[in-house]
Amino acid sequence: MTRLVFFNQDLRGQLLDAAAQPDGHARESLVQGCMFDVSTRFVGDWCGSDYLNNTGPADWSLAKTYGSYWRGNTLSGSVWPQNIGFLHHEPVADIFAQRLPSLAPSLQGLVSGLPAWVSANPTFASWDTTWDMLVKNLPGATRTRLIAAMHSMVQGFPKLEWRVERLEDALLSNKPLWTPPANPLVQTVRWPSGATLTVDATALPPLPDASRYSLSRWAEAQAELQRPGGLHFAFCFSIVSMIVSPMASADAWLLGLEGY
């Protein structure tokens, strides 16, 4: 597999075409501490890649971003693919920030702090569940206007539109949109072989880099030590919150979790 690593590089003005790689993709790559501008273009299959602590906007409009992970970035003004998943919180926060000026001033005040709050609180904050908390206690007329505004802010992004519809349904039926786990930073992973592993975001093992790729390979190695020959595969969807899935094959994660 071709995995690219960009660390503390100036990527301004560069075309980063995954199709130019030997495998025709750049899945599970790592882009950390780099500098972007609006002419930094990610093109092709970058699924499962990590974008950590980068600065500046970039253009992902022609990139496949399924399963990607965004933490600590300053991406204001980036261009996003239409099929961006609703669990890609920093991209969604940027989409909201870009579209906030289109709202009526009376609604802007209700949501202006949402993108920054989501970015600053990745453990518990989610744009959709935060909306749930913001909206459910509002007076009926204000709630109706805000839900309509939410639909307008995600227009053109089908997965976000779907999620807002689910949020509206939850609000109308007075049901929670999401029930958080007891401890979102700790997860026990169980493979069919019987191997088990508890992964704690607050006590990660020494890894060659901060990527989910390295954490996934470590998890697989630990499972193999317990049950040698078990063909253990794993994919880490998120470190904060901790979401690690055992897999039947190395690329089974591409079949996906809803929202990515």
Q: What is the 3-state secondary structure (H, E, C) of 216-243?
A: HHHHHHHHHHHCCCCCCEEEEEECCCCE
Task: Please check the confidence at residue 222 and state whether its pLDDT lies above 60.
Answer: yes
For CA atoms 237, 240, 243, 247, give the dihedral sign: positive
Q: Is the pTM of this model over 0.75?
A: yes
Compute the distance between CA of residue 94 and CA of residue 79 in angstroms, rounded to an integer.
9
Sequence letter at residue 224: E
The backbone torsions φ and ψ at residue 19, rounded to the nearest 5 degrees and listed phi first, read: -65, -20
Instruction: Tell me the pLDDT tens digit for each residue of 32-77.
Output: 999 999 999 999 999 999 999 999 999 999 999 999 999 999 999 9
3-state class (DSSP) for residue 45:
strand
**Beta strands 69-71; 243-247: pairing state:** unpaired
**Of 115-124, 159-168, 224-233, which range is least confident?**
115-124
Identify the pLDDT of residue 229: 87
60 vs 121, residue with greater confidence = 60
Radius of gyration of the chain (CA): 19
Name which of 232, 208, 222, 246 is nearest 50 in CA terms: 208
| Whole-angstrom distance, CA of residue 32 vs CA of residue 5 | 8
